[in-house]
Every structure is written in C-alpha cells, then in structure tokens.
C-alpha cells in the first residue's frame, strides 16, 4: 500500500538568525521567519525599529550575521534570476528626469519581457494616465508614489517588497492598493510589507512581525 505524503508548501523567503547593526547599535537580532508564496508578511513597529533595514536585507543588503534565502538560494541582488523574480518599492525612487512617466514604465515593461500595452494598462490601473507625458519632477508627491508602485506592478514578480506603500496616497489610492495586493497574493506572489497603516495590514497581511517590541 502506498502512503501519500502530505506536501507542505515551500517557503519562498527564509530568514535565519538574522542580525543587523550599524556600528555598535544593534537594530535587530535573532530574527528567523519564512514567507510562502501567496502570503503577506507585515512588518510593524515604531519609527527607527528596523523595518526598512530588514527589508533591505531581504533584497541584498549584507546583514551583520545570519542568512536570507530566496527560493532556496542565498540572496544576491546581482543574480539575474533574483532580479527577475523580486520587485521592490523601497523609499523614494530615483527616476530619470528626462523620461516621461509612460517612458519609464515602457522601459521597465520591455526590460521584463512584457507586451508594449502593459505600461498603458498599469498607468490606468494605478490612476496616473493623465500625467503619462509629464516628467517625474513635475508630479505631485502622491502621483510620484503611484509611479513608484507602477514600476513594480508593470513587471512580473514572485516576491514583492514594499516599504510603507500607502504613504502619500489618497483614500481611493489606498483602497486600490489593498485590492491590488490581495489580487497579487491570489495570483501566488509573496509580499513583505512594512506599513504604519493598520487597515492595509488587516486587509492584506497574513502574518505580522513586530519589530522593536
Ligand atoms: N545607514 C545607516 N547608518 C546608521 N544608522 C542607520 C542607517 N540606516 C538606519 N539606521 C538606524 O537604524 C535604525 C532603524 O532604521 P530603519 O530605517 O530601519 O527603521 P524603520 O523601522 O524603517 O523606521 P520608520 O518607521 O521611521 O521608517 C534607526 O535607529 C536608524 O537611525
């Protein structure tokens, strides 16, 4: 008689005994967790508790000690496979001043092998079609944030890493973001997101890691 083995879902991101310090200041230590495909881990904690530092370690910043793996391999931001699989919106992005909003997205879509109409679709979805021909320097802060999000959403990914994606978005933008992230999870993406917005955390988060507690 054959015995069926119960398949446990594998982790996409694995963090083991992670520590990061700036000089003598230990921001976090002894951190271990996993994130599976289709799940969202929310990082919470007060200002300065280490959320951004941890997100940066997930996408290639070298920690003081410990390991971070993505899909079973040590994270290496120069690895083309890693870059193809992982999208990030971390901090204020540097946009090319001489490329329009549409040109930015078009460039990224093509670089990731997407159809040319992908940029237009994302512009529409993110709600910045009306500024498609403007340069980044002429956008409002909320429009810049929408463009930052669009740079991730215009391309495929297996892991999405977001630092306070809700910042500067209006109410409609925040509601749209929550729906988009929920749809991403249903499509199988893993998400790790630092947020100060309890509504977004409740709408999208499956697990919560509290830093600075
Ligand atoms: N490059 C750096 N050099 C030295 N110290 C740093 C550096 N980056 C961050 N820190 C310090 O590390 C700590 C954690 O910062 P981090 O930005 O990770 O916190 P955070 O939880 O993301 O905060 P916030 O909620 O304000 O975004 C802070 O005390 C900060 O001053």
User: What is the interface pTM, i.e. ipTM, of the complex?
Assistant: 0.98
Residues of the chain with pLDDT under 70: 1-9, 92, 213
pLDDT of residue 163: 97
Work out which ligand 1 atom sits closest to the CA atom of 211: 21
Q: What is the pLDDT of residue 67?
A: 97
Given this model, what pLDDT does residue 80 score?
Answer: 93
Question: 40-44 and 65-70: which strand pairing?
Answer: unpaired
Taken in order 93, 96, 97, 100, is the CA torsion positive or negative?
negative
| Helix, strand, coil shares, percent, the chain, to 5 | 35, 25, 40
pTM beyond 0.80, yes or no: yes
pLDDT at 10: 79
Query: What atom in ligand 1 is closest to the CA of residue 53?
Result: 18
Classify the phi-psi angles of 148: left when phi > 0, otherwise alpha if psi is within -120 to 50, otherwise beta. alpha
What local confidence, expressed as pLDDT, does residue 29 receive?
96
Nearest CA to ligand 1 atom 28: 48
List, in order of start, the domains of the chain with CATH numbers: 11-95+157-210 (3.40.50.300)
Give dist(CA 70, CA 73) in Å, integer.
Answer: 5
CA dihedral (153, 159, 163, 166) in degrees, to 10, reads: 40
User: Closest ligand 1 atom to the C-alpha of 196?
Assistant: 25
With the most atoms of ligand 1 within 8 angstroms of its CB, the residue from 20, 21, 53, 167 to mutate is 53
- The pLDDT value given to residue 1: 42
Query: Which token pair is 184?
Result: 């991403």
- The pLDDT mean for the chain works out to 93
Provide the pLDDT for residue 5: 46
Give the pair of three-digit tokens for residue 53: 């530092």
Phi, psi angles (nearest 5°) of residue 5: -85, 135
Q: How far apart are CA 191 and CA 193, in angstroms?
A: 6
Q: Indicate if ligand 1 lies below 6 Å from the C-beta of 22.
A: yes
- Measure Cα distances from 146 to 75, 93, 209 in Å: 27, 11, 26
Q: Is the C-beta atom of 28 inside 6 A of ligand 1?
A: no
Show Cβ contacts of residue 27 under 8 Å, excluding neighbours closer than 6 positions.
20, 21, 49, 50, 53
Residue-level pLDDT at 91: 81
Q: What pLDDT sits at residue 213?
A: 67
């Amino acid at each position: 008689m054959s015995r069926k083995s119960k398949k446990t879902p594998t982790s996409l991101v694995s963090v083991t005994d992670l520590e990061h310090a700036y000089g003598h200041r230990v921001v976090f230590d002894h951190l271990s967790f996993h994130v599976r495909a289709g799940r969202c881990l929310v990082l919470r904690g007060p200002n300065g508790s280490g959320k951004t530092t941890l997100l940066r370690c997930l996408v290639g910043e070298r920690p003081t000690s410990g390991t971070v793996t993505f899909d079973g391999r040590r994270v290496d931001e120069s690895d083309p496979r890693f870059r193809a699989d992982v999208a990030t919106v971390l901090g204020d992005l540097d946009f090319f001043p001489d490329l329009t909003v549409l040109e930015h997205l078009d460039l990224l879509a093509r670089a990731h092998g997407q159809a040319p109409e992908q940029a237009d679709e994302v512009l529409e979805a993110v709600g910045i079609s009306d500024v498609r021909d403007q340069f980044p320097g002429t956008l409002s802060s909320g429009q810049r944030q929408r463009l930052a999000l669009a740079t991730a959403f215009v391309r495929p990914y297996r892991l999405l890493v977001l630092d306070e994606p809700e910042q500067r978005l209006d109410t409609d933008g925040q509601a749209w973001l929550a729906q988009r992230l929920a749809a991403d999870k249903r499509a199988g993406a893993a998400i790790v997101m630092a947020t100060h917005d309890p509504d977004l955390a409740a709408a999208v988060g499956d697990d919560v890691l509290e830093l600075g507690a």
